[in-house]
Amino acid sequence: MIELESVNKIYNRGQPNEVQALYDVNLVIEANSMVCLRGASGSGKSTLLSIIGCILPPTSGRAAVAGKQLARLPDRFMTIHRRRTIGFIFQQFNILPDLSVQENISLPLLPLGVSPKERRIRAKVLIERLGISHRQDFPAGQISGGELQRVAIARALINDQPIILADEPTAHLDTKLSQEFLQTMVDLKKTGKTIIIASHDPLVTENPAIDRIIDITDGRVDVS
Amino acid sequence: MNPALEKHLNLLDYALSSLWRRKLKNLGIITVFAGVIFLVASFQILTSSLTSTAETMLAKTPEIVIQKMSAGRQESIPLSYLNRLDGVFGIRAAVPRIWGYYFDETSGANYTVMGVERKAMPEGRRLEMAIEGSYPEAGQGGAALGREVAANMKLAGRRTFSLFRPDLSLKTFRITGIFAESTDLLTADLLVTGLDDARDLFTIPDSLATDLLVYVTNPNEISTIAKKIAARLPDTRVLTRPQILKTYKVVFGWRSGFASICLLAALAAFAILAWDKASGLSAEEKREIGILKVLGWQTTDILTLRFWESLAVAGLAFLIGCTTAYLHVLFLEGSLFRPVLLGWSVIHPSLKILPVFAAGDVLLIFTLSVLPYLAATVIPAWRCSTISPDAAIK
Amino acid sequence: MFLSAWSLSLVLCSIVVLFLMANAARTGVRVLRYWDQASDSNLQISLENETWLASTLIEFALAVQGLSLLLFILAADSYSQVIAGAMCATGSLLANEFGLPTLYLKLAGFFLYGFWILLHQIDIRSEVYPLVRVKYLYLLLLLPFILADILFQTLYIANLDPDIITSCCAVVFSDATGEGGNLLGSLPQDLMLWLYYGTIVVLLGLALLMNNRIPGLMLAGKKVQSILSFLYAMGWLWFFGLALAVITAVISSYIYAMPFHRCPFCIIKQDYCYIGLAIYFTLICGTFFGISTALAELLARRPELAGPVRQYRKIAIDLSLILLIILAVLSSYHYLLYMITGGES
């Protein structure tokens, strides 16, 4: 599903502020697995996530996500591939507070030309599945942290993307909500999705459902 | 529905809700923009309306006016020239007229004094209808006054007044009527009297007149008849009504153009403002765009979004600006800008203008206002659409 | 005659186009110098971003050019009210030697910008952006053209003198010889109409054939498609010139219901329900799509573009077909109305 071969990433190449974020990364993530990316801030974890998430291309090496080669791919096609393949759950959820819950969830569908009626239907399915029907038309800025988390998950699933990428999802949640989140991820994995969670929270790293932990330190990946 | 069309509708919907979420900032821009459009539109509507009013007013004037020229200047025309017009096919009537300017020292105003026999004119009855009272008959010392002339003379109920002849003797006139308000554009400074009374006032010899008015049967033949007259009377200048109308249009046109140039300064300032506003993205706006991009919105989608936002702002401002301009001309008679178009003189006609707002005018106003705005917001819109998605991830 | 609202708006349009295209050209120069698809450097990313700017600017410029063309004709019409001897736009355009060339340049600009946008749209549908250099070279070649447009327009407006008498359309387009300056010569009406409708039928047939809309007649082979596409494009090019002549010399007089009023511009006026706008819009757009099939055909030779080209060609042929039908209806309406109700043997 995700294959990285000799991937390097250098920012500002050839300039005085040149910095190499990834060194010769080799990585294979199987489909329908649940993987944890563990690394401190500045370790290159965000860069690795960005490459896996089809946001940035590698400087050198091969990177294939869901069968698509990312190197030399223009941004336009990366975006098209990204929206079909990756569902993002951000650290701060990154929900737009002025839009309603339902509007936030169906944001990825607007540029695809999905009609308002169809958008409402698809969002409703996920809203009911995640148990936030009572908040459907509330402004997202007025709901609780736990509900926000579920909105973020619903948004990541709206296009039925096969890969879910979560960046420090439990950083701002209490234990109970963190455990609820992980359970949701496990349930998603059972439906065939590939889950990649970037976290150094022991609640995540020590969870038995995690198939594999990938450690990243100073831009180098240690696959155990 | 076609997905491409649906996509644009979705983006338009999002753009409108985005504008609404930032009400204050956008309201400011819309207000200023509407103000600029109001200025441009007022000028345009006023120009078109005045031209149209002039056209209507001139419709019943004589088709041809013959003036005698000598050394490039106008001089009195011999009445014997009327005989030389016999045989020109298509002339309905040829009427002599005496007119000139009278300077009233007390008020500092110039009156146009005109002497012509109403009964000789084919459309003379219309002149009668334009007067509240009656048209002065031949040789009776009567005069009909324009409203501003009457006001300037400070008559205070008097029915007679006197004017000075060139030898400073006085000639007394009896007021027979006042011209109706609706004719102010042409009659405000006018004093109409009989041919002989005007001749007496200006002491012009019996064999001469100031010019000859020629009425034709078929308006389509004006230029042909004018050419024939010019051939028979080579020392004259033959003016046609279409030419006079063109002169009005040129004057209104260049005055309006001149004013438009001044407005362009306002427009330029506004374009800079628009650029500045569009470029200034708050941290929250940047974050929003980063999120949208991560969620799969392409650069072109963001560009389209910003374009719809600009168009919505421009469209609303355009509607408000044009409507207020129309109302300004309709109810206030364009009083803010009339002096520029009509000039400043002591005698100032009051005017009932019917606003004329043709499709061409709409296009013109659009080009002078909305187009520069959209152009000014293209590059800022692009800058905002190229915000990197990983700005949201960090 | 710069002190007129119309002149100002034309000058403004020119300034806007110059501004847009100059910025687009700046991108063009940078792309031609530094473009490297394989790189992930900041420069390459910012160049990729700039290509979106360039395409947006040119699309905008195209829209403004279309507006400018319309404004130019309306301006010429308004000038006719103050120029001696001119009764409509024809007279204004003939008032000095820069009028007609400006019109032709604006018309051509419409097509040239359109072709750029076509190139761009096809290019971005391939993952390797094969036409990047071609595109931006073409863009740079457009610049002198734009400057010529602006120059001629400025010279035209500057040299307009209300006192110099010009001709009106009745003289210019009449079919009576010897009245000085007859732009179209004495063209036989019947022959022109036969050619006009004949060409329409041929183009319709070709379009239906190429998009496999004729039941029982399927096209096989890329070579056949290719040849037909070129024929179609040539056919449209011929039709464009022919249609302009026919509209001026024949159709317009039926719209005006005056046998000696033959003018290509008066039909745009409100008096005739702006039918001229609809006719010229369908003609110009139809011609664009028709000619662009040949351009697309040239691009189909690259294997990575074959798919997008095929898609575009289908759409272009369908669009040109629809526009041709609408044009035929609009242009024939007054003529047929006269024939059916007026009666002429």
State whether residue A175 sits within 8 Å of chain C by CB.
no
Give the C-alpha separation, A204 to A181, whole Å. 10
Give the pLDDT confidence score for residue C164 in this predicted structure: 56
- Cβ <8 Å between A57 and C40: yes
Give the C-alpha separation, A169 to A174, whole Å. 11
Nearest Cα residue in chain B from A89:
B393
Nearest Cα residue in chain A from B294:
A55
Give the pLDDT confidence score for residue A32 in this predicted structure: 92
Give me the residues paired with residue B115 across strands.
B98, B193
Question: To the nearest whole angstrom, how far is the Cα of A80 from the nearest Cα of chain B?
Answer: 7
Give the C-alpha separation, B239 to B233, whole Å. 13
CB-based contact B317:B40 (threshold 8 Å): no
Long-range contacts of A205-209 (CB under 8 A, 24+ apart): A205/A36, A205/A38, A207/A182, A209/A34, A209/A182, A209/A185
C300 backbone dihedrals φ, ψ, rounded to 5°:
-65, -15
- Cβ <8 Å between C40 and A56: yes
Best of B7, B19, B287, B295 to substitute, by most chain A Cβ atoms within 10 angstroms, is B295
Averaged confidence pLDDT in chain A: 89
pLDDT confidence tier of residue A42, bands split at 50, 70 and 90: confident
H or E element: which one contains C190?
A: helix C189-210
**ipTM of the modeled complex:** 0.89
Nearest Cα residue in chain C from B380:
C53
H or E element: which one contains B112?
A: strand B109-115
Question: To the nearest whole angstrom, how far is the Cα of A58 from the nearest Cα of chain C?
Answer: 7
Best of C127, C128, C131, C304 to substitute, by most chain A Cβ atoms within 10 angstroms, is C127
Question: To the nearest whole angstrom, how far is the Cα of C34 from the nearest Cα of chain B?
Answer: 19
Average pLDDT over residues C79-101: 82
Nearest Cα residue in chain C from A72:
C38
CB-based contact B227:B109 (threshold 8 Å): no
Q: Give the nearest partner residue to C9 out of B243, B299, B364, using CB atoms.
A: B364
Q: C320-344 pLDDT, tens per residue?
A: 999 999 999 999 988 888 888 875 5
CB-based contact A82:A53 (threshold 8 Å): yes
What Cα–Cα distance (Å) separates residue A99 from each residue in B6, B189, B278, B366, C222? Answer: 20, 66, 22, 33, 51
CB-based contact B306:B377 (threshold 8 Å): yes
Question: To the nearest whole angstrom, how far is the Cα of B377 from the nearest Cα of chain C?
Answer: 11
Chain A and chain C share a number of CB contacts under 8 A equal to: 27
pLDDT confidence tier of residue C345, bands split at 50, 70 and 90: very low
- Cβ <8 Å between C48 and A73: no
Give the pLDDT confidence score for residue C334 in this predicted structure: 86
Q: A164: helix, coil or strand?
A: strand
Tens of pLDDT along chain B (394 residues) come to: 788 899 999 999 999 999 998 888 888 889 988 988 898 888 888 878 877 877 777 777 788 999 998 888 889 999 999 999 888 888 988 999 999 999 988 888 889 999 988 888 887 777 777 788 888 888 888 999 988 888 888 888 889 999 999 999 999 999 999 988 777 777 888 899 999 999 999 999 999 999 999 999 888 788 888 888 988 888 998 988 888 777 777 776 676 677 777 777 777 778 877 787 777 778 888 888 988 988 989 988 999 999 999 999 999 999 999 999 999 888 887 777 766 666 644 445 555 667 777 888 888 888 888 888 888 888 888 888 888 777 655 5
Give the pLDDT confidence score for residue A165 in this predicted structure: 92
Chain A residues within an 8 Å CB radius of C124:
74, 76
Q: Give the nearest partner residue to A98 out of B21, B293, B389, using CB atoms.
A: B21
pLDDT surpasses 80 at C181: no
Q: Give the nearest partner residue to B258 out of C3, C49, C53, using CB atoms.
A: C3
pLDDT surpasses 90 at C241: yes
Question: To the nearest whole angstrom, how far is the Cα of B185 from the nearest Cα of chain A?
Answer: 58
Give the pLDDT confidence score for residue B184 in this predicted structure: 75
Nearest Cα residue in chain B from A156:
B295
DSSP C279-330: HHHHHHHHHHHHHHHHHHHHHTTSGGGHHHHHHHHHHHHHHHHHHHHHHHHH
Nearest Cα residue in chain B from C20:
B375
Burial (CB count within 10 angstroms: exposed 0-12, middle 13-18, buried 19+), residue C338: middle
| Least confident window among B53-62, B135-144, C129-138, C225-234 | B53-62
Counting residues of chain C whose pLDDT is more than 90, the rounded percentage is 33
Question: Whose CA is closest to A33, among A212, A222, A214?
Answer: A212
Q: Supply the Cα-derived Rg of chain A in whole angstroms.
A: 18
Tokens 């033949």 correspond to B221
What Cα–Cα distance (Å) separates residue B255 from each residue in A213, B251, C4, C5, C154? Answer: 79, 6, 8, 10, 20
DSSP C254-284: HHHT-TT---SSGGGSGGGTTHHHHHHHHHH
Q: Give the nearest partner residue to A46 out of B5, B300, B393, using CB atoms.
A: B393
Q: A76-104 pLDDT, tens per residue?
A: 888 999 988 999 898 778 889 889 999 99
pLDDT confidence tier of residue C177, bands split at 50, 70 and 90: very low
The amino acid at residue B393 is: I
